Structure 1
């Protein structure tokens, strides 16, 4: 069961080298590299949350994807850049340099095998910038290699219909959305008796600055929350998680189809 949530026929490591060599049009194949993290998520959630969400959404999307569209998932990179959480036991973080090097070397090997479309599917909010740097550097190195630095949550989804306005703005870590999704994906690993409601503390008032967005400031998790939670985990439900999973995966189906059809703009 090494494929986890990914359909076996869409799991790249289950192919043999001969099967890979015989792919008739590898330049059109969409290769997806899920990137997660191993980091604290409060008292009630396991440290695998981001990785599990990425693999869960991708697996559901690949189940729905038309069989004629060639797309494969690589094994998840479970470790990410999570040093904002490293004051909490259990967090395992790579440096930005290490993660960037891994992504670059994965791309080198895929390119050598003839593939020309790579999705960096990131599920951890602390590292989108690394995906963007990697994508640009890979494409600059191999101009016919199309690379897409994407964030799991940025596709159209129904979160705004399920969460409060406060949760949408401040519930960025182990809150309602992530807890609900884990109740859908890994219910046995969620302890709702330990769920808490804690929003970020001490944020600047009447200021253009914010934790995230266009004008952010650098922060460490311990500066904003005692529990490690930023959001209201107490109101999470499996029903909301199921709806989020369906919504996110539907949009990822459309996105993978768009990537399959994509051609690099040129004069």
Structure 2
């Protein structure tokens, strides 16, 4: 179904337009947009990992909210900026520019519908910049629009079972992603195919704490596409990660719903144009 992991009663597209139009306190309704990617994740995980994790964590978080917190999920953006993985079949990538404009267009649509709070939960490490740029531009267009873009893993969660080496060097298809996929989409995980690979030390050590400091593509780290060690992942660990992250994101959504942030008028400089949207001086 279109709502995926999100409870159907928390899925905005399942409402009629009059129901959305007549929604109470729409200024404080939180709209949550999962953002993922379709890209290779080694021989043991499906290409849908990032799309699955963002949609899964958001859906489980929305399911935890009490009735008095008005928040709705919308369909995930499943395709992302994944050009660092384009050497591997199955990777489906957009340009950063197209992703940025897609976020802007969706934000404008939500604003026209009367919503003033948008949270983007991103599960792909290769695209925070377009999301953050889109959020900033939407804020500059609309001084009463609260737009937040954050990584799905950025909130506190217990990962004591992950080794220090893995925490420092793993970047793709490693222990954490493999564990949570066992909880979200177990039939797609093939533990008998796991491979471990860590990046070699970068030749300019003053620029890095272990991870490469230069721009990279996943093929730079070997033919499997894995950057990390997924072999120790378990279902119990994945269930713990999913529970921790869903609980933390439910708390964050509640805080956004209750927040009363500053409202600004940003039109005093005269005429400006942001990607085709013209703002005239008052």
- Bin the TM-score by the shorter chain: over 0.9
1:157 is displaced (CA, Å) by 0.8
Q: Give the deviation of 1:201 after TM superposition.
A: 3.1
Q: Does 1:108 align with 2:108?
A: yes
Q: Which stretches of structure 1, 4 residues or more, deviate above 4 A after TM superposition?
A: none
Q: Could you tell me which residue of structure 1 aligns to residue 117 of structure 2?
A: 117
Q: 2:229 aligns with which of 212, 229, 232?
A: 232
Cα offset, 1:179, TM superposition: 0.3
Mapping 1:155-170, distance limit 5 Å: 155-159=155-159, 161-170=160-169
Q: Is the 8 A contact 1:198 1:230 kept in 2?
A: yes
Report the CA distance between 1:225 and its aligned residue: 2.6
**Matches of 1:204 and 1:26, distance apart in 2:** 53
In 2, Cα distance between equivalents of 1:11 and 1:266: 27
Question: For the Cα contact (< 8 Å) 1:31–1:74, is it kept in 2?
Answer: yes
The residue aligned with 1:198 is 197
2:207 partner SS? coil
Question: What CA distance in whole angstroms lies between the structure 2 residues aligned with 1:252 and 1:177?
Answer: 17
Per the alignment, residue 260 of structure 1 pairs with 257
2:84–2:216 Cα contact (<8 Å) kept:
yes
CA distance in 1, matches of 2:20, 2:36: 26
| Equivalence map 1:88-167=2 (5 Å) | 88-159=88-159, 161-167=160-166
> Could you tell me how far apart the structure 2 residues matched to 1:114 and 1:136 are?
19
**Partner of 1:82 in structure 2?**
82
Residue 202 of structure 1 contacts residue 224 of structure 1 at CA under 8 Å; is this kept in 2? no
Cα shift at 1:118 = 0.5
Corresponding residue for 2:62? 62
Q: Are 1:251 and 2:277 an aligned pair?
A: no
Higher helix fraction: Structure 1 or Structure 2? 1
Give me the whole-angstrom Cα distance separating, in 2, the residues matched to 1:100 and 1:211.
30
- 1:174 paired residue number: 173
1:179 touches 1:236 (CA, 8 Å); kept in 2? yes
Q: Could you list the per-position Cα deviations for residues 157-196 of structure 1 after superposition, in whole angstroms to 9, with x for gaps in the alignment?
A: 112x120001111122100000000111111011111011
CA contact (8 A) 1:33 1:121 kept: yes
Q: Is the 8 A contact 1:204 1:210 kept in 2?
A: no
Give CA deviations for 1:188-230 in whole Å, capped at 9, x if unaligned.
0111110111112353363323576xx9421111112321001
**Does structure 1 conserve the Cα–Cα contact (< 8 Å) formed by 2:118 and 2:148?**
yes
Flag structure 2 segments of 5+ consecutive residues without an equivalent: 265-282
Q: Which residue of 1 aligns with 2:220?
A: 223
Where does the alignment leave 5 or more consecutive residues of structure 1 unmatched?
none
Rg larger in structure: 2
Tell me the TM-score normalized by structure 2.
Answer: 0.90
Would the alpha carbon gap of residues 224 and 13 (structure 1) be closer, same or farther in structure 2, given more than 3 Å must change?
Answer: same
Aligned to 1:183: 182
Aligned to 2:207: 208
> Does the CA contact (< 8 Å) of 2:202 and 2:213 recur in 1?
no
The TM-score, its normalising length taken from structure 1, stands at 0.95
Separation of aligned partners in 1, 2:66 and 2:204 = 49
